[in-house]
Structure 1
């Protein structure tokens, strides 16, 4: 259980936060220096979010080495609960139905990433001569 939680909270959420900051910076630069349409930007951010959550679930399950579906769901739920908390605190508004469907997609993406990550081949540490 300790390895599972370390994978979720350490590697999974950590990699999601880092990748989200990088993608947010790239999208901000695109918005500032190009004439990109806001609808196109929304579609890019949707695909980026789903991909990043799938990658976070993959890393969490790979490092946790067990129960990939649980690692993925926990990774997705921790991220979604954090986003809802930030919205409640900073925007003082509850989530909409559209946001709930988006958050559900993020959790499913993390779940699928976790299922893939737990089944990825491990690097052998044996010294075969």
Structure 2
């Protein structure tokens, strides 16, 4: 159980936050220095968000080495709950219906990533 919590919180959610911040900076630079329209950036953000959550779920399940669906699902739920909490606190606005479908897609991506990550081959060290 300790390995799963460490995999989910340490590797899964941690890597998602780091990658999301890095990609937000990248998108801000694209918006500032190119003539790309808002709709294109929105599509790029959607695809990257789903990919990053799938990677985070995969990494969490790989590090926990068991129950990939649970590791990935917990990773996605913790991240989505943090996003909802930030929105409620800082924007003083509750979640809309389109956002709920987006958040559901993010949790689903992390869940599927966890299923893939637990089945990745492990490197063994010969002594």
Per-residue CA deviation, residues 44-91 of structure 1 (Å, 9 max, x unaligned), is 000000000000000000000000000000000000000000000000
Structure 1 stretches of 4+ moved >4 Å: none
Root mean square deviation, CA, Å: 0.5
Per-residue CA deviation, residues 99-128 of structure 1 (Å, 9 max, x unaligned), is 00000000000001000000000000223x
> What is the distance in 2 between the residues matched to 1:126 and 1:11?
25
Unaligned segments of structure 1, at least 5 residues: none
Q: Give the alignment's TM-score, normalised by structure 2.
A: 0.99
Asked whether 1:99 is paired with 2:99, we answer yes
What is the match of residue 78 of structure 2?
Answer: 78
What is the match of residue 31 of structure 1?
Answer: 31
Secondary structure of 2:121's aligned partner:
coil
Number of residues of Structure 1 aligned to a counterpart in Structure 2: 127
Unaligned segments of structure 2, at least 5 residues: none
Secondary structure of 1:95's aligned partner:
coil
What is the match of residue 65 of structure 1?
Answer: 65
What is the match of residue 111 of structure 1?
Answer: 111
Secondary structure of 2:32's aligned partner:
helix
What is the match of residue 4 of structure 2?
Answer: 4
> What is the distance in 1 between the residues matched to 2:113 and 2:73?
10
What is the match of residue 120 of structure 1?
Answer: 120
Secondary structure of 1:123's aligned partner:
coil
> What is the distance in 2 between the residues matched to 1:19 and 1:80?
15
> What is the distance in 1 between the residues matched to 2:28 and 2:85?
23
